Structures are given as C-alpha cells and as structure tokens.
C-alpha cells in the first residue's frame, strides 16, 4: 500500500474519533467530550451478602467492556467472598446462575478494613493526600468536563447507607456531592444506588448540581435480592442491580437514554419502587455517557424473559435473605445432626432479631414513658427525616453502644424508631440517656 494512502486512512480514523460507536472512551475525549470516571462500592461482608459484591463486580465488567480504563475506575469492596470457604467456585463470582465470572480483573483498590465511609468520601473529594498509603490510593481525578458514575450497593436504613463496620449518613453523602460540584469535579454525574430505604439517601439531593440519581426503592421500603442459587446457597444478585445491568448488557447504550433505562428497569422491578432523584433532566443523556460506549455494536436480540424471569421468581426482600438461606439449608440437608444444626441456627437468628427489636422497644419506652406511644414509634414506617441533628446523634450512639449496623445489619430495620422519636420532638439527649441504660452488654456482632 502507498504510504500516502495509509496516512489518509489514519487521518480519517482520527477525525472520526468522536463519532464511532466503537470508539474507546479514554481515547476519544480530546476536547470538551471529557472523560469518564467511576466509583463502585459494595459495603457489606459475609456469605449471606454475596450478591452485593457480585453486583459491583458486574458493574466493573460493564465499564471495562465499554473501554473505560482501570485507572478511571475505583472499586471498594470487602473482597471476602471469592475465597470464602463457602464458595464452591473459589476465585470466581457470578451475578446470575450459570453466568460468567464477574470477578476477573476487578481492581482491589480498597478492600477489607479500608472499606469505610471516610475513605469513600476521600475518593470522591479527590483527596490523594488523605489516602496516601491506604489501598491503591486511587481517587477521582475528574475535572469540569468529565462525567462521573457512582454505583453503591449494600444494606441501608432511613438516611443510612451501610459499610462493613460503620455507615454513611445521607447528609454527609449529599454534602460531599455538593462540594464536588463547587470544586468543578464533574460536568454531570449519575448515581445508581441499591439498598433498603435507598431513596432516603437522595431526599435532600439538590436538583441543580448536575447530579442524577436512581434508587432501587423509595425512601421507606426494602429492596430485594434475587437469583437464588441452590448449589451455592445464596442469592447472586439484587433485583434493581440485575435489571439495570442486564438491560445495559442487552442494549446499545450508545443510543439508549437514562430515561429509557429508568422506565424499563422500574417496570421490570416489581419488588420495590425504583425512583429518580436530583436533576432528572439529565435523563436525556445516554446510558453510555456514564457507562462507556466503546465496543458497543448494537442491541442484543436476546428476548427478555418477562414471563419466566428467574430473578423475579426467586426475589425476596433483602431483610428476609438470612432467614431464606437458613430455611433452604434446613430443607437441603438430609442427615439428622446437620439438619438439627441448621434448625438451631434459624432459631438463634430469630432470637437474635427479637433482641434487637426488644432493645429498641425498651429505649422508646424509656424515652416516651408511654407504652402505646412506644409501640407506635417502632411500628410506624411513615416519617421522613427532618430533624437531622437529632437523628444523626441518636443513630451514632445506637451504632456505637447498642448494635453496630455494619456488623448487625438487622439493626437497620429498627432505625425508623429513631426517625419517629426525633420527628415527634423527643431529643437526642433523651435517646442517648435511654440507650445508655438499655444497652449495657458491650459489643454484639453477627445479627443478620
Ligand atoms: C414507598 O413505598 C411504600 C410501599 O412499600 C408505600 O407505602 C409508600 O407510599 C411509598 N412512598 C412513596 C413516597 O411513594
Ligand atoms: C411494562 O411491563 C409490561 C409487562 O410486564 C408490559 O406489558 C409493558 O409494556 C411495560 N411497559 C413499559 C413502559 O415498558
Ligand atoms: C414479579 O413478577 C414475577 C414474574 O412476572 C412474579 O413471579 C412475581 O410474583 C412478581 N412479584 C410481585 C411482588 O409482584
Ligand atoms: C446470634 O448472635 C450472636 C451474637 O450475639 C452471634 O454470634 C451468632 O452468630 C448469631 N446467630 C445467628 C444464627 O444469627
């Protein structure tokens, strides 16, 4: 071939850098296109919670496949599943039964004890100094022309997103985003958040800071796990996460808008109300603008399994997951001693759970000094958080001296009582005094 011809071909390819669907994100963003950055967080630990890390690893595979380079993707997860003794496929994670391994190549930026809300907020702030010597030290390096995608998956409660040992308050999260906007750390941002009460994390998100959020559930309801795997004795995914990622795998995300994906995922997720937050007008952007659109060649023609949907058919509320797993284990065992063991575990799980509820009831009794009112504080799921200061001080205390939320995820189900007390005018001081009297037996862990 003539040398000049080669040059012409090369020039045409270069000119076409921004228009090809197969263009790699990192490569095509010269001028104002900007670059794509992503932060992926699974906040839980333990085999019961296999699905959270599987979801986040799947999200990583999507970004990678679409050409987003590793140095623009920051992953935070415990990383205690893949080599767990429970894992029949050591070194592998699946996000659906018989699905591909989603663990391969996942960067171990922050694992184990480094998975904390403080480190997460530093990653968002681009605080290289603050993370020096911690994990990979990788932080968001995005600027005013860049797009940022954040995916958070874990247990949650009203105004709370869990981490393995502590938790993130909604207000701290939103104020970190607001600060990023002030510091011109992004042009636009999309956040997909899966947890119980996930909507409550977005309640105070402003609608003018170029942040668009989607939550798995509204502010007051649970989200759901799905894809029960008999051989592995756990759930492999969560409904909202599975739905948005399987849609992303299926579609041409260079053309599909966030709005189209939202309605589709909301329609398919019949276990909770998938909800949009923040600057909803951003939903006319393409899914590929946030998840990469390299290597996308066209819509997948695989039919959707609407009426025989293995995810939906096996879906259970996230709160019921530990019970379901133990019930399955009881059913699956034939040998008497082993079955007896699992029955005992199930029994203890229920005892453990009633201890949490009992403690919260004792606290509400001590605060309200009225049995009826105390009972209602526990039952009522209705309120939204307005008294943030009271709520934050009280939950911090409950987490510190009664039940650590990260290590006792079930305790998140009684946080609504704290919301209710604060909204009914009881003070954090009253709560703290009562909790100090009721919770005297030191650190309890393992109440799922
Ligand atoms: C949230 O979902 C629950 C059902 O789980 C429903 O009762 C409640 O009205 C919903 N709230 C909003 C604001 O949609
Ligand atoms: C929602 O799902 C139902 C079937 O489950 C389908 O008939 C309907 O067209 C869907 N709506 C949208 C907006 O996708
Ligand atoms: C959701 O849809 C699936 C499949 O169509 C169905 O089996 C399941 O019962 C539905 N769940 C709810 C809560 O409606
Ligand atoms: C019950 O709680 C204790 C801690 O109080 C924990 O060690 C144990 O594993 C829990 N058992 C079950 C079955 O959840």
Q: Tokens 């951003």 sit at which residue?
A: 282
- By most ligand atoms within 8 Å of CB, the mutation choice from 352, 403, 448 for ligand 4 is 352
Q: Is 270 helix (H, G, I), strand (E, B) or coil?
A: coil
Other Cβ atoms within 10 Å of 360 Cβ, number:
27
The 160-162 sheet, strands edge to edge = 156-157, 160-162, 167-169
Shared domain check, 352 and 232: no
Residue 26's pLDDT is: 45
Residue 301's pLDDT is: 47
Ranges of the chain whose pLDDT falls below 50: 1-30, 301, 303
In a domain, 321, yes or no: no
| 372 backbone dihedrals φ, ψ, rounded to 5° | -60, -50
In a domain, 9, yes or no: no
345 lines ligand 1 (CB under 6 A): no
183 lines ligand 2 (CB under 6 A): no
Residue 36's pLDDT is: 97
Q: Let me know: does 241 contact 194? Beta carbons within 8 Å.
A: yes
User: Which residue in 196, 226, 311, 390 is the catalytic one?
Assistant: 196
Angle at 432 between CA 430 and CA 433, to 5 degrees: 65
Residue 304's pLDDT is: 53
Nearest CA to 394 out of 365, 434, 366, 361 is that of 434
Shared domain check, 85 and 177: yes
Atom of ligand 1 nearest to the CA of 275: 14
Q: Which ligand is nearest to the CA of 343?
A: 4
Q: Exposed e or buried b for every residue in 369-395, given b needs 16+ CB within 10 A? A: eeeebbeebbeeeebebebeebbbbbb
Ligand 1 center–CA 340 separation, angstroms: 39
231 lines ligand 2 (CB under 6 A): no
User: Which residue in 155, 169, 383, 387 is the catalytic one?
Assistant: 155
Ligand 1 center–CA 417 separation, angstroms: 17
Q: What tokens does 92 get?
A: 């592998």
CA distance 16 to 9: 11
Q: Catalytic site residue 384?
A: no
Domain boundary among 316, 344, 363: 316
Q: Which residues contact 441 (CB under 8 A, 6 or more apart)?
A: none
Shared domain check, 371 and 305: no
Residue list, ligand 3 pocket, CB within 6 Å = 270-271, 309, 312-313
In a domain, 390, yes or no: yes
Residue 32's pLDDT is: 62
Shared domain check, 349 and 297: no
In a domain, 192, yes or no: yes
Atom of ligand 1 nearest to the CA of 219: 1
Domain CATH for 255: 3.40.50.1460
Q: How many domains does the chain have?
A: 2
Q: Which ligand is nearest to the CA of 222?
A: 1
CA distance 369 to 391: 20
Q: Let me know: does 149 contact 291? Beta carbons within 8 Å.
A: yes
Q: Which ligand is nearest to the CA of 307?
A: 3
Shared domain check, 229 and 83: yes
Q: Which ligand is nearest to the CA of 239?
A: 3
Shared domain check, 177 and 308: yes
Shared domain check, 240 and 99: yes
CA distance 441 to 431: 17
Q: Catalytic site residue 155?
A: yes
Shared domain check, 354 and 257: no
Domain boundary among 271, 290, 316: 316
Shared domain check, 186 and 38: yes
277 membership: H or E segment, kind and range: strand 275-278
Ligand 2 center–CA 319 separation, angstroms: 28
Domain CATH for 391: 1.10.132.130
CA distance 112 to 76: 9
- By most ligand atoms within 8 Å of CB, the mutation choice from 270, 306, 320 for ligand 3 is 270
Shared domain check, 77 and 43: yes
Atom of ligand 3 nearest to the CA of 306: 5
Shared domain check, 415 and 360: yes
Ligand 4 center–CA 367 separation, angstroms: 28
Give the sign of the dihedral formed by CA 265, CA 174, CA 403, CA 389.
negative
Atom of ligand 1 nearest to the CA of 272: 5
Ligand 2 center–CA 197 separation, angstroms: 25
Which domain range does residue 72 map to? Answer: 26-316
The 211-215 sheet, strands edge to edge = 73-76, 36-42, 147-153, 188-194, 211-215, 275-278
Shared domain check, 127 and 38: yes
């Amino acid at each position: 071939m003539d040398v000049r011809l080669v040059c012409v071909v090369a020039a045409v390819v270069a000119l076409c850098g921004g228009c090809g669907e197969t263009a790699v994100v990192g490569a095509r963003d010269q001028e104002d296109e900007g670059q794509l950055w992503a932060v992926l967080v699974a906040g839980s630990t333990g085999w019961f919670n296999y699905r959270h890390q599987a979801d986040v690893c799947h999200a990583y595979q999507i970004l990678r496949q679409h050409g987003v380079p590793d140095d623009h993707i920051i992953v935070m997860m415990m990383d205690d599943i893949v080599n767990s003794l429970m894992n029949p496929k050591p070194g592998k994670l699946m996000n659906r039964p018989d699905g591909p391994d989603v663990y391969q190549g996942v960067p171990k930026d922050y694992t184990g004890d480094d998975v904390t809300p403080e480190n997460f907020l530093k990653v968002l702030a681009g605080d290289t100094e603050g993370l020096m010597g911690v994990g990979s030290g990788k932080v968001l390096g995005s600027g005013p022309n860049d797009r940022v995608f954040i995916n958070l998956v874990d247990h949650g409660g009203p105004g709370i997103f869990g981490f393995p040992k502590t938790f993130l308050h909604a207000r701290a999260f939103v104020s970190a985003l607001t600060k990023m906007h002030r510091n011109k750390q992004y042009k636009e941002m999309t956040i997909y958040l899966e947890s119980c009460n996930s909507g409550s994390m977005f309640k105070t998100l402003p609608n003018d800071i170029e942040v668009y959020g989607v939550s798995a559930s509204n502010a007051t309801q649970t989200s759901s796990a799905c894809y029960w795997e008999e051989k592995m004795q756990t759930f492999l995914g969560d409904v909202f996460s599975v739905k948005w990622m399987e849609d992303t795998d299926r579609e041409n995300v260079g053309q599909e808008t966030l709005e189209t994906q939202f309605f589709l995922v909301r329609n398919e997720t019949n276990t909770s109300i998938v909800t949009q937050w923040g600057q909803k007008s951003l939903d006319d952007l393409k899914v590929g603008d946030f998840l990469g659109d390299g290597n996308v060649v066209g819509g997948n023609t695989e039919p959707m399994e609407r009426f025989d949907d293995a995810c939906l058919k096996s879906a259970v509320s996230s709160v019921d997951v530990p019970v379901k797993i133990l019930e399955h284990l009881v059913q699956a065992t034939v040998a008497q001693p082993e079955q007896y063991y699992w029955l005992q575990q199930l029994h203890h799980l229920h005892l453990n759970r009633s201890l949490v509820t009992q403690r919260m009831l004792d606290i509400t009794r001590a605060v309200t000094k009225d049995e009826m009112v105390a009972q209602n504080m526990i039952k009522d799921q209705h309120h939204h958080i307005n008294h943030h200061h009271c709520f934050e001080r009280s939950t911090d205390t409950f987490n510190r001296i009664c039940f650590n939320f990260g290590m006792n995820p079930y305790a998140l189900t009684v946080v609504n009582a704290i919301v209710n007390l604060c909204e009914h005018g009881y003070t954090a001081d009253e709560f703290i005094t009562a909790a100090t009297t009721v919770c005297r037996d030191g650190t309890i862990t393992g109440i799922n």
